[in-house]
Amino acid sequence: MNTIDTFHHRGAQLRGRPSVRRGFVDRIVFVPASIARRIGRMLERRRSRLALLEMTDEQLKDIGVSRCDAHREGIRPFWE
């Protein structure tokens, strides 16, 4: 038995359960976690865009963004 087969065999069971059961459980855990990560990224994007709207002209100049660009980015919906 080679190394790959050994790792595959050990990873095929979770506490004595067959690999099909583990795949189902992994998917049940993965989907809500994936949704939570996506929502978190959208909220962070929205916070960043709102921060652009609150910056002064001097702060925007420091980061190389014009007031017009900051406004255009700041009013975009969070899902974009």
Has residue 49 been placed in a domain?
Answer: yes
Has residue 3 been placed in a domain?
Answer: no
Distance of alpha carbon 67 from alpha carbon 69, whole angstroms: 6
Alpha-carbon torsion 71, 75, 78, 80, what sign? negative
Has residue 30 been placed in a domain?
Answer: yes
What pTM was computed for the model? Answer: 0.59
Which residue is listed with tokens 């652009």? 52
Domain count, the chain: 1
DSSP 25: H
Has residue 29 been placed in a domain?
Answer: yes
What's the Rg (C-alpha) of the chain? 23
Contacts of 79 (CB under 8 A, 6+ apart): 42
Has residue 8 been placed in a domain?
Answer: no
Q: What is the mean pLDDT of residues 67-74?
A: 93
Of 24 and 51, the structure prediction assigns the larger pLDDT to: 51
Has residue 68 been placed in a domain?
Answer: yes
In the predicted structure, residue 4 carries a pLDDT above the cut 60: no
Has residue 2 been placed in a domain?
Answer: no
CB 22 within 8 A of CB 13: yes
pLDDT per residue as tens digits for the range 6-18 = 454 444 444 555 5
pLDDT per residue as tens digits for the range 37-52 = 999 999 999 999 999 9
For residue 61, the enclosing domain spans 18-74
Has residue 4 been placed in a domain?
Answer: no
